[in-house]
Amino acid sequence: MRIQNRFLKLAAWSLAGLACAAAQAKATPFIVLEAASGRVVLEQESTHRWYPASLTKLMTLYVALSAVREKRVTLDTPIVVSMRAARMPASKMGFNPGSEVTLDNALKILMVKSANDIAVTIAEGLGGSVEGFSDQMNAAAARLGMNESHFVNPNGLHHDNHYSSARDMAIVGRALFRDFPEYSDYYGIGALRLGPQIIPTHNGLLGRYPGADGMKTGFTCPAGFNVVASASRGGRRLIVVVLGYPSAKARTLKTASLLDAGFASGSGSTPIATLAAAPGPAPNMRPRICGAHRAQVAEDDFAVVPVAQRPGESDHNSIFFGATGAGAPVNGLAATQEQLHTRPSFEPVDVYVGRAPGWTGPVLAARGDGPRPDASAAAQPGAKATVAKAKGKHLAKGKKAAKKKPAAKAKVEAKPSPPARPKTAQH
């Protein structure tokens, strides 16, 4: 009897595993949207719930820019890294609790580095807490008509109750271009420079696909490889959302294929708001994406150069490069062989840690978790957050000088002038 029960349990687990694998073997969601009209050109399962991962940060950006537009803050407003923010897992900047960064620099880091600690810093500064900011995110999502979304954090780290859809991510992507056109440079930064450190974007389309100018990638094991991408051609802008792909390469090539198909097609006929919501929870892609014993998979796909298919690669990606939904098959690998270029060199946009020169306004921090005694640009780990000093001096020299006068409190010298607004990555 005991052996029989074990056999029945094993059979049940096997059937559950096969059902899960079958569900996850379905084609993953995507949508191609005309930014100007809000009409759908192509779509597949675009209203199915999905874990958005770091695509969440587009919603964080939207709420932050709304606060700037409403004059509750400015881009020069300093926000403070809390203990909670500092404890966030990677991807992160690793700034010490009490460190200050302007909202402008935080948003640049958010979009390029996709830093989870900076997302929490923004949330706590503008919302008082992660929970308060999440309420603002959900309120904004409701106003925008994002019917399949619910947010519990500003960075997209996995939570069963944190989900969205391809349709909803296309809505917020379009809303950013529509409502904040003056800030569109945030979406297309190819690299940042923080002291001696160069931080490249994760977006494999920037500088590679003609006309690509944004917006955000995302990855967790439960979500797979996601992207919201934008590109313009002949005065027509398309926004493409791809969710749940098995690798950064597959994500980039599928997105390029969909952009090709979208630009080759006529105008869409279906308003995005009229797409009916699909029932059911978001699938967990961890077994398929990361495997049982693979804790982390790199998101960066800068190394992708589609020159030759590896043996067996077509089989691995076969379910991801099928029909576009318009009746015409688009093979992602073949369609983009001549479209994608090799890794580009971007002119990095400068960012810095600390307050803007001459700032005399308020400093925003989490409720009950304000600046600590080490609250300065000098409180960074190693050379990761090096800040240029006046007259060309660097942080290490400032610390050395402070040690000679132990009785005196180390002073932070004047910060360098903030860099000009970010330039869109060159293509």
Q: Which of 57, 216, 389, 415 is catalytic?
A: 57
Q: Provide the β-strand partners of residue 366.
A: 369
Q: Is 32 helix (H, G, I), strand (E, B) or coil?
A: strand
The CA distance from 405 to 412, in Å, is 14
Query: Which residues are within 8 A (CB) of 126 and not within 5 positions of it... i.e. 6 or more apart?
Result: 63, 64, 67, 72, 73, 79, 133, 136, 364
Q: Identify which of 121, 73, 131 has the alpha carbon closest to the alpha carbon of residue 99.
A: 121
Strands (E), 39-104: 39-44, 78-80, 100-102
Query: Which residues are within 8 A (CB) of 100 and not within 5 positions of it... i.e. 6 or more apart?
Result: 78, 79, 80, 81, 353, 354, 355, 363, 371, 375, 376, 377
Match 């004047």 to its residue by tokens: 414
Question: Is 216 tagged catalytic?
Answer: no
Question: Is 82 tagged catalytic?
Answer: no
Q: Which of 46, 82, 114, 134 is catalytic?
A: 114
Q: Identify which of 49, 55, 33, 26 has the alpha carbon closest to the alpha carbon of residue 320.
A: 26
Question: Is 99 tagged catalytic?
Answer: no
Q: Is 366 helix (H, G, I), strand (E, B) or coil?
A: strand
Cis amide bond preceding 230, omega within 30? no
The residues annotated with a catalytic role in the active site are 54, 57, 114
